Structure 1
Amino acid sequence: MTGDEREALQQPISNAARTLYLLGLRPDHDPSSGYSAPIHYKTLLTLVNDAHFQVKLGRDINELLGELITAGLVALNESQSLEQSLNGQQVMLPLAQSPKDAFQQTHGNWHAMHREWQPEDSVFEDLATLVGLIDKAYSEHELGEFIAYWLGRPQMQFSPFQWTQKFVFQLRQKRLAYGAPRQQVGLQTVTTQAGIEVDDNARQLMEKYRKKEN
């Protein structure tokens, strides 16, 4: 169980709702997707009923799911509603995913490029480090250039990880190219920061005149 789950379960929800989550939804959920196993009202009714709490209908389970949704422990997709039967359906457990699982999700959800695309921050940082990208800062122009190129290829669909990977590779290729104002660092070129650089000739002249003054 994650720390976020523990914190959410301490909110003012009923013990029946906690039982539903801990014994009915959490044990058989899919860690890679975050979805629960298909809901079976009959099984869940047996789990939550005790000497002090008795429910008999699927809508009673939906009321408990409503508590879990308010606490942030459960989420429904756009086609689902607590006003309708959820029997046989899966629900999302957003807090049950560890950071590693969240990273793995970047390999799913394939999509074409769109105007508002942004690289996945954690993936960008990791990949940039792995390929030895020294200058990790990029401009709006560089991002726009990447988006514009792939907007012209709407048939191409990739996962968030792959889109970010392509962007990192494009930046690395540009850093290996020649151009000004840039400076060489190893085999790569990086953006020259604003400032004053004094070359060897200038230093010699300064030393020459300093000696004369003395």
Structure 2
Amino acid sequence: MNQSELIALQTTLSNEARVLYCLGLRPEVDKTSGLTQPLNYRKLLALLNSKQTLFNLGRHINQLLKELADAGLVDCQEQCISSRSLNGQQLLLPLVATSVSQYQSLHLQWQSMSMDWRPDDKLFDELSQLVGLLDNQYTDEDLGEFIAYWLTRPEINLTGFQWTQKFVLHLKKSRLAPGQKQKVGHQLVAVTAGLSADENAKKLVEKYSAKSKG
């Protein structure tokens, strides 16, 4: 386990979430890609309920995964971590796959959110590629929305690395939101001017144009 993981595990997490990460997810992770083995809810519940039954539903596991995601320890590539079952899905452990040495200073810079915060450009690009963020261009509004949200939580102190990571995951989540988007793989990217209509749409236009002329 690397230094960035240890730092993240010392944030405001429940002990059950730490156990889930350290014993349920981390031991069999692919250290190159950062991908876990497919989740096995039954196995994870048995791990968490070693002496007494504290959890008995898959959504209880999801609640712990949400804690880990908020701390930057887990990212679900396929779908949002919610009440929906993730049994059999793989998760990404971003801090496993990212080299620590080149970002050592970012791991040592603890801070609350500020009005002039900006993501580290190089780290932003690498994390975007790592988590599969297809459209990693962001606007002043994207950045302002992120900063405004975290300014309301001054008690949250994260490293420069973790803030950049949170911003990347925030953008990825927003790309999955409904709106004027185009689906590419499992993600939605903003529709840009110049997109051509598909063949069916063209045929419909031609059909009704011909009728109006007749």
TM tier relative to shorter chain:
0.3 to 0.5
Which of the two has higher C-alpha Rg?
1
Q: TM-score by structure 2 length?
A: 0.47
